[in-house]
Each structure stands twice: as structure tokens, then as C-alpha cells.
Amino acid sequence: MSAVTDLCLVERRALVARLRPTLAGLTRNRTVVLGTAIAGLLLTFAGMLATGGSGPIGTIMFVPWVALLATQLGPTWGGLAGAASTGFYFAAAEADGLPHDPVTLMLRLLPLVGVGVAAGFSSRRISSDALELQATSAVQGALLDSTLDGICLTDTSGRVLLANAPLQRISMALGLPPHGTVTERLLTLADQTTEPSRFRERMHELGHDQAASEDEFELSDSGRVFRGSTTPVARPDGTLVGRVWTLREVTADRRLERLRDAFVAAVSHELRTPLTSVSGFLELLGDEEDSLPLTGRTYLAAARRGTTRLRRIVEDLLLAAEIEAGLLELQTDAVDLTELAVEAVEVAKPAAAEKHIEVNLDTDGALPLEADATRLRQVLDNLLSNAIKYTPTGGKIVLAASGGDGHRRVEVSDNGIGIPQDEIGQLFSRFYRASNATRRAIPGTGVGLVIARAIVEGHGGTISLESREGEGTSVTVTLPLRQPGGGTYR
């Protein structure tokens, strides 16, 4: 018996589900609604005549039909419908022989007319608001659909509330399931990525952590690369209501970066061999330098400077490629930061003297620490080289080294051209150069700070930069006293 009951319930629900769209369409059909309202008025009047119930029923039975007419025809016709309904009532009352007078007429007429006018105005207001909301939604939908990024809004549990057209296209192309939370859908891609276990772990983290995030993943079969980000959405009181998820394909960007890295590495390797030959011949010429005329010695000195600069550029480019590949080796040992600072200042003084720039050293005496002396010297050389390049003739540079509880600190400050405030955040990006340096045609590759940051962070330290355009720049490096051990920078 219960099985039959369950079957009837299932069939009833299926019938309701099939009828619901039809009924919804009929309620939106203006002709059907008007016909229903007029039929209702006439049937109510006929019912009063047939039953003689105009007295007990009163005009209340006309109210739904008056309101329905008003919603379709507006306040004027709603008022007229109320007046007509009052006429129907009094005609029925007359047929029933009920007494009536002007006061009774007004008491019946005014409420019905009021209902018709009020319903008409309310309907017009609701229709206006609905049209405005529809127009706003259409504009917002068009804006979201015109973006390159796939965007969706989810609730706090990760269920999709809204998704734009680009995200729907990406989802179809990737074969994502149409149901489930965002993380559940993305997890179906795990086995197709280059790092399945890391991808699964990250998806589980995103399913529980509501903080803002940014990640990338690559598909192993097609090589397509996607960058995804999330941003929490909260009410003014801070209550979390959901998240915005964005997905962008960055395959072309990553291919371009790989081509650029391959090109830089290839060019650097190809330059290294002829540079070695040129340097060797310059050394041979140096043995005969005393026999050269003044012009020859001048040319030889210029060739040496050019070769040294070119070798440094090549080494920096190769090191930047190693850093990008995660292959920076650090061999730590006991060193004295003060000695490294003294050596760096001495190396920098000839270049500073050419521009009449004063380079001063400020230290607190011996500053021992564990570090890779060669790499740390490279950091100091890069910072001083940048300071000299971007400081005009007659400027001043100070390298200050100091110690504290558990750390060592180096600060290189100058009174040079400075950096625009809106560009400071990009200075540690590969090959990026400040706009004022480009305008002044100051030579450089844009990898010095990238190398410095990688070496400093490889030591477990930090590097920061402060600058004001036209006033100068200050770069601060902080290093720990001890290293857990050498190894590969990550």
C-alpha cells in the first residue's frame, strides 16, 4: 500500500512540475488575465442574482477582480472597474429588494474605487521597478559576459549563484561537471594537471579557507595554463556572504616567458665564449701596455671597461635564468659583513669617481654572520651599481652596515633621481625598469634587484626599498646571523 502511495505522490509531483511552466506562462499573458478578471466580475454578479446573496456577501467579492483589472489597465481603469462593480452590486441588491440610500452607495463605491486606483498605482510602480531592475541586470550581465576572464559568484559553501559566459565556455571546454561546488568541479581536473597531488591539496584548502587567493595550474596533455583567483564578498558588518572566483587562461603569456628565458639563456651562453676570447687578448695587450702610445692605452682601457660591463651583463642574465629555474646554489660559511662592505665600496669608487659621486661607508666594526660571501658581495655590488647609475654628477651615496639581535642590516641610500611611487611595486620584476630611467637613457638590464632579492631571500633575509622621485632611494637588506644550511634557493 505504501508503494502505491509513493507512486501516486511521485506522479502528482511530476504533474505539478509539468504544469508549473504552463501556469506561469498564462499568468504573464495579459489577455488571459483581463479575460479572467472580467469573467470573474460577471460570474460574481450572476452568483449574487442567482443566490440572492448580495446582502451578506456585499462588495467584497468584487475586490479581487477589480484589483486584477487595475494591475493590467492602470489606476484610471481600476477606478472605473470599482465603480462598475458597485453598479453590479446595487443592481443585484435592487433585484433582491434590499433598501439602499446615497450613504450606502458611497460606502460601497469609495472602497472599490480606492482598491482599483491603489492597485493600479502599485502595479505601475512595481512594473517600473521591475523594468529598471531588468535593465540594470542586463547591463551587468553584458558587462560580465564581455570580459576575458571567467567569473562566478558563489555562496559560503561554494555553490555557484552566478556565472558569466566566458566561464561557461571554459567549463564546457575543460569538461567540468554542471553540478556541485566550484572546488568539487575543479577537482575533476586533478589527474589532467601537471601536479595532481598539489592540485588536489590546493582545492581542498580553497574549499575550507575563505581568504583571498591566487593560483596557477597547467594541463599536461594540452599545455594550457590557467590562473585562478578568489576574493571574499562580505556585508558592511563584515559577515561573509560568498566569494568571487575568476579564471583566466595565461597560456600565451607563459609560452612567451619561456621563449624569452630560452632566448636570454641562449644568447648569454653564446656571448660567453667570444667574451672569454676578447678578455684573453686584452690581457695579452696589457702585457705590452707600456709600449703602446697614449691613444692606444686609452683605447685599451675603454675596451677593458666595455668587456667587463658586458661580462657582468651576461653573468646577470644567466643568474636570473638560474633563479627562475630554482637552481641558485648558496655555499654558506663564516664571513664578516663589514669586510664585504669595504670591498664593495672600493670596487665601486672608480665608477663613482667618473661622475664625481661621493661614496661613504658607515659600519659598527666587525659584523660576523653565516652567508655565501660571493653571492652577498654580488648583492652589495648590484645595490651600489644601481645607486651610482641613478645618482647625478656630484651626488652622494652611503652604505651603512649594522648589527642587532639575531640579524645584520645593510642600507644603501643615495640622493639620486628616485623612483615614481606607482612603480615601486614593480621594481623587483624581471627586466622592469623605471620610466624616469628609461627617459634618461640610463643603461641597465632590469635584473639587478631581482638577483639581489633572490640571494637575500635564499639566506632567509628580507629586502625592501623606499624612494621619492627627485629625492633619492634607500634599499635595506636584513640577514639572519645563522643559516640552517646551504642548498638550492626556492
What pLDDT digit, counting tens, does each position of 416-428 carry? 888 887 777 777 7
**Domain ranges across the chain:** 2-144, 150-249, 254-324, 329-488
User: In this structure, which topology does domain 254-324 adopt according to CATH?
Assistant: Helix Hairpins (1.10.287)
What is the C-alpha to C-alpha distance for residues 189 and 218, in angstroms, rounded to an integer?
A: 10
Q: Measure Cα distances from 320 to 173, 406, 458 in Å.
A: 36, 29, 14
pLDDT of residue 485: 56
Residue range 408-457, pLDDT digits in tens? 889 999 898 888 877 777 777 766 667 767 676 676 666 778 888 888 88
User: Where residue 325 falls among pLDDT bands split at 50, 70, 90?
Assistant: low
Q: In 74-219, which residue ranges form alpha helices assigned H by DSSP?
A: 75-95, 102-145, 165-174, 182-187, 196-208
Strand pairing report for 368-371 and 329-330: unpaired
CA 264 to chain centre: 30
Helix (H) or strand (E) holding 243: strand 240-249
Q: How far apart are the first and last CA of the chain?
A: 70
Residue range 75-106, pLDDT digits in tens? 777 677 777 777 776 676 666 666 566 666 66
Tell me the chain's radius of gyration from C-alpha atoms. Answer: 40
Residue range 459-485, pLDDT digits in tens? 888 988 888 888 888 989 999 988 765
Q: For residue 407, what are the β-bridge partners?
A: 404, 480
8 A C-beta contact, residue 458 and residue 489: yes
Residue 114: closest CA among 62, 54, 37: 62
Helix (H, G, I), strand (E, B) or coil at 219: strand
- DSSP for 403-461 reads EETTEEEEEEEE-SS---GGGGGGTTSTT---HHHHHTT----S-HHHHHHHHHHHTT-
Tell if the pTM clears 0.85, that is, is over it. Answer: no
Q: For residue 245, what are the β-bridge partners?
A: 152, 230
Residue 388: closest CA among 472, 302, 477: 472
Residue range 250-294, pLDDT digits in tens? 888 888 777 776 766 666 666 777 777 777 777 777 777 777 787
pLDDT of residue 4: 44
Neighbours of 306 (CB within 10 A): 12
Q: By CB neighbour count within 10 A (0-12 exposed, 13-18 middle, 19+ buried), where does 417 fall?
A: buried
Of 321 and 366, the one with more pLDDT: 366
Q: In the CATH scheme, what is the code of domain 329-488?
A: 3.30.565.10
8 A C-beta contact, residue 404 and residue 379: no
User: Where residue 319 falls among pLDDT bands split at 50, 70, 90?
Assistant: confident
User: In this structure, which topology does domain 150-249 adopt according to CATH?
Assistant: Beta-Lactamase (3.30.450)
Which percentage of the chain shows pLDDT scores above 90? Answer: 5
